[in-house]
C-alpha cells in the first residue's frame, strides 16, 4: 500500500476520478490542454463543450488563483477530442506536489496521449519583449534541486518507470510543427524558443535571482508547468509547452519597474487570440507518432 493512497492522489484515486469524468464527458479526449494565468480563453475554442467545475470533481484540487476559472472543459477541436483545464495548481497554494500533478495522471487514465501546457512567464532573455511567445525546449527545475519532485516517494509502475528520462521532455517534433504553424500564421516576429525555469513562488524574483537564473541559461521564469511535464513524461505522454512573456524580469537595480499579476493577466488577454490560433493549428497536426520516443 502506498502512503499517498489515503490522501486522494494515488493510482486508485486518479482512476476513480478519471472514470467519473469519462461518465460525464461527451468525448474521450486524446489531447489535454492546460491553460495558464490569463490564458483560459483557449478552452473557448472547443466545440460541443461539456463543462465540469473542479469543485464537483471527486478528489480534485481547487484553483485559488485569480485568472484561473477552475473548470474542466471537454469538446472537440477540428474534430479532435480534447480536454482543457481552465486553471492549474501551484506549490505556492500549499498543495503537496503530488496533488498538483494529479490532473495530468487523470488525463492519462482518460486516454490522453498528448499534453499541451501554457503559462505566463517573466522574460529573462534580454532580447525578449512583453507579448512574445516562447516555445519551451527545455527546463530548469529549481524545486527539484532541493528534492521537491512530483515523483518523490514510492514509484507506482502503473504510472511509469522509477527513473524516467528527461532529456527528451519536450517533443522536438511538436516544437518543429509549432514553429511551422507560427510561420504560416505570420507570428515569426514574436515566436521564440528557449529554456523555462520554475520557482516555487508566490513572491516574484529578486534582481539577484533573475541575474543568476539568466546566467544559468534560463530565458523565462515562472511558477508552474515543469511538475506537470515531469508527470506527463513519466506516464508516457508527449509534451508541448509554451510561455507567454507577460513581463520583463527586472535585472537592473536602477530600474523602477515592478512585476505584478495584473500585468500578467492583461498581456494574456491581449495575445489570447493569436495563442488560440497557434494551439488550434498545432492540435490538428498532432498524430500518435509525432514524438521520437
37 classed as catalytic = yes
Q: Please list, in sequence order, all residues whose beta carbon lies within 8 angstroms of the beta carbon of residue 85, skipping any fewer than 6 positions away.
A: 32, 33, 34, 35, 72, 103
Catalytic residue among 9, 13, 37, 232: 37
CB 220 within 8 Å of CB 194 = yes
How far is it between the farthest Cα atoms of the chain?
Answer: 57
End-to-end CA distance of the chain: 31
93 classed as catalytic = yes
68 classed as catalytic = yes
3-state secondary structure of 9: coil
Q: What are 276's three cell numbers?
A: 488560440
90 classed as catalytic = yes
Catalytic residue among 4, 93, 113, 228: 93
Catalytic residue among 18, 68, 85, 196: 68
Catalytic residue among 45, 85, 120, 134: 120
261 classed as catalytic = yes
Catalytic residue among 4, 13, 90, 241: 90
3-state secondary structure of 215: helix
Catalytic residue among 223, 231, 232, 249: 223
Catalytic residue among 63, 214, 243, 247: 247
Give the whole-angstrom CA distance, residue 107 versus residue 288. 16
The number of residues in the chain equals 293
Catalytic residue among 16, 92, 95, 251: 92
63 classed as catalytic = no
Q: State yes or no: cis peptide before 195, omega within 30 of 0.
A: no
Catalogue the E-assigned strands of the chain.
31-35, 47-53, 71-77, 80-86, 114-123, 133-141, 191-198, 220-222, 238-248
272 classed as catalytic = no
Dihedral over alpha carbons 75, 52, 263, 231 (to 10 degrees): -80
Give the whole-angstrom CA distance, residue 263 versus residue 110. 35
Catalytic residue among 12, 261, 263, 269: 261
The catalytic residue positions are 37, 68, 90, 92-93, 120, 223-224, 247, 261
Amino acid at each position: 500500500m502506498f502512503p499517498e493512497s489515503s490522501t486522494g492522489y494515488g493510482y486508485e484515486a486518479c482512476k476513480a476520478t478519471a472514470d467519473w469524468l469519462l461518465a460525464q464527458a461527451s468525448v474521450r479526449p486524446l489531447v489535454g490542454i492546460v491553460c495558464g494565468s490569463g490564458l483560459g480563453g483557449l478552452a473557448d475554442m472547443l466545440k460541443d463543450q461539456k463543462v465540469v467545475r473542479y469543485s464537483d470533481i471527486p478528489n480534485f484540487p481547487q484553483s485559488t488563483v485569480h485568472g484561473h476559472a477552475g473548470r474542466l472543459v471537454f469538446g472537440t477541436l477540428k474534430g479532435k477530442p480534447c480536454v482543457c483545464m481552465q486553471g492549474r495548481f501551484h506549490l505556492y497554494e500549499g498543495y503537496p506536489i503530488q496533488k498538483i500533478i494529479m490532473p495530468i495522471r487523470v488525463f492519462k487514465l482518460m486516454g490522453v496521449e498528448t499534453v499541451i501546457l501554457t503559462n505566463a512567464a517573466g522574460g529573462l532573455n534580454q532580447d525578449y519583449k512583453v507579448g512574445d511567445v516562447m516555445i519551451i525546449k527545455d527546463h530548469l527545475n529549481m524545486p527539484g534541486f532541493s528534492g521537491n519532485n512530483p515523483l518523490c516517494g514510492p514509484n507506482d509502475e502503473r504510472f511509469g518507470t522509477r527513473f524516467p528520462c528527461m532529456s527528451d521532455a519536450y517533443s522536438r517534433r511538436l516544437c518543429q510543427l509549432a514553429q511551422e504553424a507560427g510561420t504560416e500564421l505570420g507570428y515569426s516576429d514574436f515566436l521564440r524558443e528557449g529554456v523555462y525555469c520554475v520557482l516555487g513562488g508566490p513572491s516574484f524574483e529578486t534582481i539577484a535571482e533573475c541575474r543568476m537564473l539568466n546566467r544559468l541559461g534560463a530565458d523565462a521564469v515562472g511558477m508552474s508547468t515543469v511538475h506537470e511535464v515531469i508527470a506527463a513524461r513519466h506516464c508516457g505522454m508527449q509534451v508541448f509547452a509554451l510561455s507567454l512573456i507577460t513581463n520583463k524580469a527586472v535585472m537592473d537595480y536602477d530600474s523602477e519597474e515592478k512585476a505584478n499579476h495584473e500585468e500578467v493577466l492583461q498581456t494574456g488577454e491581449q495575445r489570447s487570440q493569436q495563442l488560440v490560433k497557434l494551439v488550434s493549428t498545432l492540435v490538428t497536426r498532432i498524430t500518435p507518432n509525432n514524438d521520437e520516443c
